[in-house]
Amino acid sequence: MTDSISARSATPFRVIRRAADLLIRTVFVRWPQRRRQRMALLELSDDHLKDVGVTPAEARNEAGRSFWD
């Protein structure tokens, strides 16, 4: 009986841990990565932007977005 009780009490901890891991990964990995990628768009030439199918105006617009967006 104690095994089933401890298994049930461990489940909420796992959910909280997964949520915390996702939050940490988002804040420290994804947000800076987005910011770097958006700033890199500004450094591309018009020809390179054309190669990836992005206009200079779209690149400026994307670079101006917030890192959490």
Show me where the domains of the chain are located.
2-63
Q: Is the pTM of this model over 0.75?
A: no
Q: What is the pLDDT of residue 67?
A: 76
The pLDDT, as a whole number, for residue 7 is 58
Spell out the alpha helix ranges (H) of the chain.
2-25, 31-43, 46-52, 56-63
Residue 36 CA to residue 33 CA, distance in Å, equals 5
Give 55's pLDDT tier (boundaries 50, 70, 90): very high
